A = this chain, B = another copy of it.
Amino acid sequence: MSTELMLRLEIDALNADYAAALDERRFDDWPEFFVDDAKYTVQARENYDRKLPLALIALESKGMMKDRVYGITQTIYHGPYYTRHVVGPARITAGEGERIRAEANYAVFRTRPGDASEVYNVGRYVDEIVRTGGGLKFAHRLCVYDSEMVLNSLIYPV
């Protein structure tokens, strides 16, 4: 089996684990998918395509991610909702040495209490992944979303 297909499969597994942590609301597990100095960015496609810097969320370390989790679970006043991530198969776009670049399309569905599920945020993950002693981790997860109108606020990570 080719090394690239094998790696794809490992990244699919990483994406599935990541989605499960968020969808099961195990928010404390979320920063653990990243290395310490990792970045997490959620950016509109419009800005990404034009190489403009503005992003909806831009976290620059695991510490900032933990702070975000604290905000989500303890301080941000928001209407609760469930998320459900359905992620397509990953693509390896580059892999030089230790750092793998990969992408995958995602759809996040939102369900508010008492309501039907709806399309919430769709886009692609543009990832930099490194292999560590604890398995594959994100050095940068950039979520480039198509959705030009974000329904209410985006509270939980994508």
- Chain A contact residues, CB within 8 Å of chain B: 1, 5-6, 8-10, 12-13, 15-17, 19-20, 23, 45, 82, 84-91, 103-107, 109, 111-124, 146-151
Find out whether the CB atom of A84 lies under 8 angstroms from the CB atom of B9.
Answer: no
Find out whether the CB atom of A91 lies under 8 angstroms from the CB atom of B17.
Answer: yes
Find out whether the CB atom of B148 lies under 8 angstroms from the CB atom of A111.
Answer: yes
Chain B residues whose C-beta falls within 8 Å of the C-beta of A115 in the assembled complex: 148-149
* Other A-B pairs beyond A12-B89, A13-B91, A15-B88, 17, CB < 8 Å: A5-B6, A9-B9, A16-B88, A17-B91, A84-B105, A84-B123, A84-B124, A86-B106, A87-B88, A87-B105, A88-B88, A111-B122, A111-B146, A116-B148, A116-B149, A117-B120, A117-B147
Find out whether the CB atom of A119 lies under 8 angstroms from the CB atom of B109.
Answer: yes
A16 touches which of B85, B89, B114, B119 (Cβ 8 Å): B89
Specify the chain B residue showing the minimal Cβ separation from A110: B146
Chain B residues whose C-beta falls within 8 Å of the C-beta of A149 in the assembled complex: 114-116
Chain B residues whose C-beta falls within 8 Å of the C-beta of A151 in the assembled complex: 116
CB distance from A58 to the nearest CB of B (A): 22
The CA of A111 and the CA of B1, in the complex, are separated in Å by 38
Find out whether the CB atom of B87 lies under 8 angstroms from the CB atom of A89.
Answer: yes
Chain B residues whose C-beta falls within 8 Å of the C-beta of A119 in the assembled complex: 109, 116-119
CB distance from A5 to the nearest CB of B (A): 5
Specify the chain B residue showing the minimal Cβ separation from A109: B122
The CA of A146 and the CA of B113, in the complex, are separated in Å by 9
A124 touches which of B17, B23, B107 (Cβ 8 Å): B23
